[in-house]
Chain A
Amino acid sequence: MFPLEERIYRMRCVEAWSMVIPWVGFSLASLLKKVAPNSRAKYVAFETLYDPQKMPGQENRRLGGGIRYPYVEGLRIDEAMNPLTLMSVGLYGKTLPPQNGAPIRLVVPWKYGFKGIKSIVGIKLLEQQPPTTWNLLAAKEYGFYANVNPNHDHPRWSQASERRITSGGLFSRNRIATLPFNGYGEEVAALYQGMDLSTYY
């Protein structure tokens, strides 16, 4: 139904590390076009599988890292329709392993990694902005948009640069400057024209 392709994206975590990852997947846009959203669909909401038997951390907040489950995320409809936004089913040429979000996950390369919700079981089209997990936990630290922005620091660390994770152990020195929209500004900056990105972080 959706032909798979490999996309090599930079992944920038909100905790100031980054990685280059070859994903396998298809554009979310091609999925959304099938359901033909009407003009009232302003946002897209995603939900992770809630299955404490398979994912024991979901039952116990202390084991599960202190966040509420199921994990929920969302995008504005124009962000979701952007050709860069990927529904991924694999990486490094293989099917997604459970810890990377099997069977299907979201990848939004110009946003911080936590926007990439894993093991998706529900997608809804909404008129209102949906709640998102990390924003519910600490709104001052994690916004709804979460676009990679070197000029807007996280309260506990600078976002101006990042540590690129590669192989090679401790001595592969690799702190590099962080680019606005993780270097995908040409493709996505227009989505946010006229918006104050330090208010809508």
Chain B
Amino acid sequence: MVTVKKLRLYTRVWIYQRITKPMKNNNKVFLLKSFIHLAALLPLINLYWQAFADQLGADPVERVIHFTGIGSLNLLLITLCVSPLAKIIKQGYLLQTRRLLGLYAFVYAVFHLINFLAFEVQFDGALFISEVIKRPYITIGMAAFILLSLLAITSLNRLKRKMGKSWQTLHNYSYLLVVVVTVHFYWSVKSELTSPLLYFLLCFIVLAFRLKKLKRSF
């Protein structure tokens, strides 16, 4: 039988080993990915729990739309920070978390679109289509969503292999994507401009790390 004493001992030994032995990169990636899953999913679960329980203030529809939209943009920016960060701190294994981050940006975008469709226009197909065509900020938001969907689908290893060099070309559009999403945010606000401008600055920073790459492609 395992006694409490023994359990304590095992825990101590485990902690000791963790401290003295450097962690393998595989394990670091596993821990980081677990953290990403939690950090991305828990706020989403909490959001819908509160929304269904009527705990999101007078207008829960607006709240879920904004939360998932800005969440997707945040995740896109974080995704684009991974490779500069890995280079700067010389930790190549960080790149293995990038696809997951990008996929969560897509998941948030899917919820953002579902929120708009289900709760804002409430499945009025004609209204949805006319809004996408008539409202420039929704038009570019939809375009960004289609591009992000392409990036998400082609993140499958099998498709990546099949695509060869064109995969990188397609995925370089993520730089354009983050700017388009920020413009979508900027055009959607009524008058407050501080936060969209802050996001333009963040875009500029993540793109500044790719100046050489961007110059080469033009």
List the interface of chain A (C-beta within 8 A of B).
15, 17, 19, 62, 65-67, 137-138, 153, 156-158, 160-161, 163, 165, 167-171, 173-175
Q: Which has the most chain B C-beta neighbours within 10 Å: A15, A153, A157?
A: A157
Whether A175 touches B51, Cβ cut-off 8 Å, given contacts A62-B194, A157-B131, A170-B64, is: no
B19 at the interface (CB under 8 A from A): no
Whether A170 touches B119, Cβ cut-off 8 Å, given contacts A156-B135, A165-B58, is: yes
Contact of A163 among B51, B120, B131 (CB under 8 A): B120
Shortest distance from the beta carbon of A72 to any chain B beta carbon, whole Å: 15
Shortest distance from the beta carbon of A73 to any chain B beta carbon, whole Å: 16
Residue of A nearest to B64 (CB): A170
B134 at the interface (CB under 8 A from A): yes
Contact of B59 among A17, A137, A161 (CB under 8 A): A17
Evaluate contact between B127 and A15: CB separation under 8 angstroms: no
- 28 chain-A/chain-B pairs, Cβ below 8 angstroms: A17-B59, A17-B62, A62-B194, A65-B190, A65-B191, A65-B192, A66-B191, A66-B192, A138-B191, A156-B135, A157-B135, A158-B127, A158-B130, A160-B127, A161-B124, A163-B61, A163-B120, A165-B59, A167-B54, A169-B55, A169-B60, A170-B51, A170-B60, A170-B61, A170-B64, A171-B52, A175-B121, A175-B124
Evaluate contact between B192 and A153: CB separation under 8 angstroms: no
Evaluate contact between A169 and B191: CB separation under 8 angstroms: no
Residue of B nearest to A13 (CB): B59
Bound CA–CA A138/B189 (angstroms): 13
List the interface of chain B (C-beta within 8 A of A).
48, 51-56, 58-62, 64, 119-122, 124, 127, 130-131, 134-135, 137, 187-188, 190-194
Q: Could you say which residues of chain B place their CB within 8 Å of the CB of A173?
A: 122
Evaluate contact between B53 and A169: CB separation under 8 angstroms: yes
Q: Could you say which residues of chain B place their CB within 8 Å of the CB of A167?
A: 54
Bound CA–CA A47/B50 (angstroms): 38
Shortest distance from the beta carbon of A67 to any chain B beta carbon, whole Å: 6
Evaluate contact between B124 and A67: CB separation under 8 angstroms: no
Whether A169 touches B59, Cβ cut-off 8 Å, given contacts A66-B191, A66-B192, A175-B121, is: no
Given contacts A65-B192, A170-B64, 20 further A-B contacts (CB under 8 A): A15-B190, A19-B58, A62-B192, A62-B194, A67-B191, A138-B191, A153-B134, A156-B188, A157-B135, A160-B127, A161-B127, A169-B55, A169-B56, A169-B60, A170-B48, A170-B51, A170-B60, A170-B61, A175-B121, A175-B124
Shortest distance from the beta carbon of B80 to any chain A beta carbon, whole Å: 26
Contact of B137 among A62, A156, A168, A171 (CB under 8 A): A156
Q: Could you say which residues of chain A place their CB within 8 Å of the CB of B122?
A: 163, 173-175
Bound CA–CA A80/B64 (angstroms): 38
Contact of A158 among B62, B131, B188 (CB under 8 A): B131
Q: Could you say which residues of chain B place their CB within 8 Å of the CB of A175?
A: 121-122, 124
Residue of A nearest to B189 (CB): A66
Bound CA–CA A66/B190 (angstroms): 9
Evaluate contact between A169 and B121: CB separation under 8 angstroms: no
Bound CA–CA A160/B124 (angstroms): 12
Shortest distance from the beta carbon of B46 to any chain A beta carbon, whole Å: 13
